Each structure stands twice: as structure tokens, then as C-alpha cells.
Chain A
Amino acid sequence: MRWMWIDRVLELVPGERMVAIKNISLAEEHLHEHFAADPERGLPACPVMPASLIIEGMAQTSGILVGQVGAFREKVVLAKISIARIDRDAFPGDTLRYTATIERMDEAGASTRGVIERLDLHGQGEPEQIGRVDLMFSHVDRNRSGLAFPEHNFVFGESFRTLLQSSGFAME
């Protein structure tokens, strides 16, 4: 399994905002455990996208937005989840839309705001906001602790390159 929690980038305004979508599919193994049926308690299976992976989706969206500013040369790592609120569940067949905006950014890192919406099936009706995820990213090469990190950029690898290319955006 590839650790990719967004499927397509819809919009990228450099240094400002990025919009990406995630289509939730029953082919995702973890949905069959989250949550499996519980015959003893008479509960049917209830596949729900885990909130932790919704946060990861927003972290990937926001991380690409922040990384793009430095042409993906900086290693941008998630350093803090400032706010994570998921108010409604998301199910197989749903599309999640992640909108990330940069709130502040300097050489050491960035803070981002993120809104998560659920688009209903077939795109009918209004998107419903189901959560907020605000994050902080650190540029690890310029971190203040003085720790050394590997030279190669382990953050933005081949999978992200493919995602951006298939969405019609160049990584360079």
C-alpha cells in the first residue's frame, strides 16, 4: 500500500492555498476493520474513514502547499496538530475535499489552516463541512535544535511527483 491519502490536486495557488480530493473506497483494507461487524453485540459492519487518516490527508495537502514554496527542496515535516476537529463521519463512496491555506510562513516553518468538506454522491447538493485541521510544519534543515537529517529529500518522493503530474501540476 502506498501512503497516499489524497487522490488528486484540484487547485494550487503557490504560497496561498491548495485544494485536493480523496475518494474513499471499500477497496481500502482498513475500512473493513474500522469498524468490523460485532455479531456478539448484534452490530453490523460500519466502514468509516478513520479520523487519523483524514488528518493525514490534510497534512499531505498542506505539506505539498508548503513544500511547493521552496520548490520541494526543503524537507517539510508535520510538527504540530494545532486543531483537529472532525464533526461527521465519512463513508465509502464519499469524496472528501481538503482546502489548505498558509496562515504564516518563514525560514523555520509554516502554519496552515485546513477545511474538510464532504461532497455528496454524484456531486449533487452543497458540500458539507465536516471538520477543521490546522497544522504546523517545520523545515527540518533549518530547525533550531541543530539535529542533522539525511541529505536526500525523504519527504517529497516519487508518489508525490506522480500525484502532482497526474493532476496536471509540475513538481519543479
Chain B
Amino acid sequence: MTRDEIFEKVREVLVDALGVDDDEVTPDARLASDLGAESIDFLDITFKLEQVFEFKISEGEMFPTNVAQDPTYVQDGKVTPKGIAELRAKLPHFDFSEFEKDPQLRRIADVFTVSAIVSFVERKLDTNVAA
């Protein structure tokens, strides 16, 4: 499946899960601040991607979990360099370069973009084929 084909399917999932219009789902759109996703929507998106692409996404595989609760990851409302390094290693589909400049925890949802979801699916499909 090409990246464009994956994007089209991801777009359908997001239109369905978030009730947004087709043209709002651009690669740079952020799920929360641009498309209005709330916490339950992330679970909805996960379920729908599993259905469409026929793979299983385990907890913490696509979106980070328990970051805020871990003091080695977050201090004074900011994600520590160690935290960012760990997030990069665990979640290579997200681009943390912008976030890193001002790593306030409340801004972390800005890295959840449409293209990051496409990258996640792309990697996941590659891994499945390789396995």
C-alpha cells in the first residue's frame, strides 16, 4: 500500500471518528487543536484503524501513555530530555523537533498530526509484512 493510499484510508477514519470534513484532514492537521479530538476519540481512532488495516495496536504503541505520571519524564510541567528521548524511541512516527524547543506537557498533543498517524500505519504495515 502506498503512502497516499494509507493517507486516504486514514482520512476516512478521521472523518468518521471526529465528524470533520474531508478537506480539513490535511497532513499537517493536528488531531486535537485542529480537528477537535478529545481523549475518547484517540481510542475510537485506534479501534477504527485496527478494523480498516486489520492489525492490532497495543496500548502505548500509537499514542504515549502515562507520561504525565512519571517524574523521570515530566518535571515542572515540562517533558525532560530523557523523556523526549524515550518518547522518540518508543514512538518514532511522531516528529518531536518542534515540541523539543518548548517541551511543555500541555503542548504534547500538537505532535499528534495526521501525517504522524499515516507514518505509524506505514511502519506497522511494513513490520507486519517483514514478520
Residues of A within 8 A of B (CB): 79-80, 82, 103-104, 106-109, 111, 136, 138, 143-146
Contact = CB atoms under 8 A, between A and B. Distances in A.
Nearest to B44: A136
Sort A-B residue pairs by CB-CB distance and give the 4 closest, nearest first: A79-B40, A104-B47, A80-B40, A109-B43
B41 A144 contact: no
Contacts, number: 36
Interface size classification for chain B? 10 to 19
A108 B43 contact: yes
B9 to A, nearest CB: 17
A104 B63 CA distance: 18
Interface in B90-114: none
**Binding site secondary structure of chain B:** helix
Contacts of A146: 66, 68-69
A106 B50 CA distance: 12
B40 A136 contact: yes
A109 B40 CA distance: 9
B40 A138 contact: yes
A105 to B, nearest CB: 9
A138 B47 contact: no
B120 interface: no
A29 B16 CA distance: 37
Interface of B: 17, 39-44, 47, 50-51, 59, 63, 65-66, 68-69
Given A104-B51, A107-B59, A108-B59, A144 B44 contact: no
A82 B19 CA distance: 9
A107 B65 CA distance: 13
Contacts of A109: 40, 43
A145 B39 contact: yes
B39 A111 contact: no
B111 to A, nearest CB: 16
Contact of B47 (A79, A103, A143): A103
A85 to B, nearest CB: 14
B39 A143 contact: yes
A111 B42 contact: no
B68 A136 contact: no
